[in-house]
A and B are shown apart, each in its own frame.
Chain A
Amino acid sequence: MESQDTKGKIVQETFPSEIVSIIGDILAGLILTLILLTFKSFLILIIIIPALLSLRGNLSGPFIARTSKDLIIGEFNSKSWIENVLSTYALSIVTACLIGIFSIMLDLFLIKKFIDKKIISMETLIIIPIIAILLTLSISIPTSTFLNYLAFRYGFNPNNVVNPIMTAVDDFFTVICFYFTLLMLGVP
C-alpha cells in the first residue's frame, strides 16, 4: 500500500481530509475565542489552551500512526491495541499534570494574579487539564480506531486519511471538553 502510493494518490487522499481539518480548526478557533473571552481567568486559560491543543500531536497523532502502522504491517490485534490505548492514557495523565504544574508556576512567578487573589485554586489548575485531556481522548481513541479500520478496509491508506480528519475532531472536542471541564469545576 504505502510503497505504491503515487504523488497523485497522496494528494487525492490527503487533501480532502485536510479540508475537513481546516474547517474544523477554524470552527474550533471561533468557538474558543467566543467561550474563553467570557471567563475571568482568561489570561491563565489562554496559556493552558495551546498546550492542550498540542495533545493531538503529543498523544493522538502517535496513537493513530501506531494503529495504522500495525494495520499495514499486519500486527494489529486486540492485545496491542489495548496496550496502545493504556500507554496513551498513561502519557496523557503525565502530560496533563505537567501542564497544570507549569501553569501554577507561571501564575505564581509571572502573572501573579489568579492564585494570589483566590480567583482560581492550585488544585483546579491541575485538575482542568487532566479532565479535559481524558474526556477528549475518550472521544478521540474510539473515533480514530474506527476511522483507521474503515480506511484500511476500504483500501485507503490510513496514514493519509485519518490524521488530518482527527486533527479537526481532536481540536474541536478539546475546546468543547475544556469548556465542559471549566463548567464542571465552576471556574470563574
Chain B
Amino acid sequence: MDYFKKVFKESIFIVIISSFMGLLSGIFLSINEKIIYAIPIILLILPSLNSLIGDICTVLTSRLTTHLYIGSIPPKVQKSERLVQDFIGLLITILLSLLVLIILGFIIVISTGINIISPFLILFIIILTILSLFFCLFIFLFISSIYLFKKGKDPNNLLIPFVTSLADFLTPLLLITFIIIFI
C-alpha cells in the first residue's frame, strides 16, 4: 500500500485547501450575482473559461512532471528549448480554444436574443483575463514543479488540485474586477 499512502499523504492537505477554495468561489459568485446576470455571456461561458484555464494548467503540470521524471527538463529554474516549445504550444492552444469558446458563446447569446453590452469590451476583458492567468500560472507552475520535484514529491498530486481550484477562483475574480474597472 505504499503507492496509496504516498498519494493520500501528498494529496490530502491540498485537496482540503482546494475544496475550501471551490466553496469560496461559490460564495463569491453568489455575492456578485447581479453583475454576472447583467452581462449574461459571462455567466454562460464562465464554466468553460474555468475549465479552459484549468485544463491547460493540468496539461502543463502533467507535462512538466513527466519532463522532470524522464530528465528532458533539468530540475533548475532556467530557460530551455523544451520549456519554450511547451509554452508556445499551450499558448497557441489556449488562443484557439478561446476563439472557439467566444464564437460558441456569441452564437448562443444571439440565438437566445440576449443583448450584449459593449461586445468588443467584453471580448477584450475575456482575453485579458485568460492571458493574464495563463502567464502568471505558467511561471508559478514551472517554479513550483521544480521545487516539489527536488523535495522528492510528485508535483501532479499537489499542483493539479491546487492550480485548478485557484483558476476556478481567480477566473471569476479577475473577470468581475476587470468588468468593474472597464465597464
Contact = CB atoms under 8 A, between A and B. Distances in A.
Interface in A88-109: 88, 90-91, 94-95, 98-99, 102-103, 106
Contact of A11 (B2, B65, B92): B92
Given A18-B52, A50-B22, A102-B20, A61 B161 contact: yes
A53 interface: yes
Contact of B4 (A43, A87, A159): A87
B7 A18 contact: no
Interface residues of B, number: 68
A2 B70 contact: yes
A86 interface: yes
A14 B29 contact: no
Interface string B48-60: 1011101110110
B51 A54 contact: no
Contact of A73 (B52, B54, B66, B101): B66
Interface stretch (A23-31, A113-121, A178-186): A23-31
A49 interface: yes
Given A11-B89, A57-B164, A83-B1, A91 B48 contact: no
A29 B44 contact: yes
A146 to B, nearest CB: 18
Contact of A2 (B21, B72, B96, B97): B72
Interface string B1-44: 11110011001100110111111011101100000000000001
A89 to B, nearest CB: 10
B70 A59 contact: no
A168 B168 CA distance: 15
B160 interface: yes
B117 interface: no
Q: Which of A62, A65, A66, A160 has the largest count of B CB atoms less than 10 A from its CB?
A: A62
B129 interface: no
Interface string B81-98: 010011011101100110
Contacts of B156: 62, 65-66, 69
Q: Which of B22, B27, B104 has the largest count of A CB atoms less than 10 A from its CB?
A: B22
A48 interface: yes
Given A46-B30, A57-B163, A66-B154, A3 B85 contact: no
Contacts of A84: 3-4, 7
A135 interface: no
Contacts of B48: 21-22, 25-26, 29
Contacts of B22: 50-54, 58, 99
Contacts of A91: 7-8, 11-12, 15
Contacts of A103: 23
Contacts of B12: 91, 94
B104 A23 contact: yes
Interface in B120-173: 154, 156-157, 160-161, 163-165, 167-168
Nearest to A157: B63
Contacts of B116: none
Interface of B: 1-4, 7-8, 11-12, 15-16, 18-23, 25-27, 29-30, 44-48, 50-52, 54-56, 58-59, 61-63, 65-67, 69-70, 72, 82, 85-86, 88-90, 92-93, 96-97, 100-101, 104-105, 108, 154, 156-157, 160-161, 163-165, 167-168
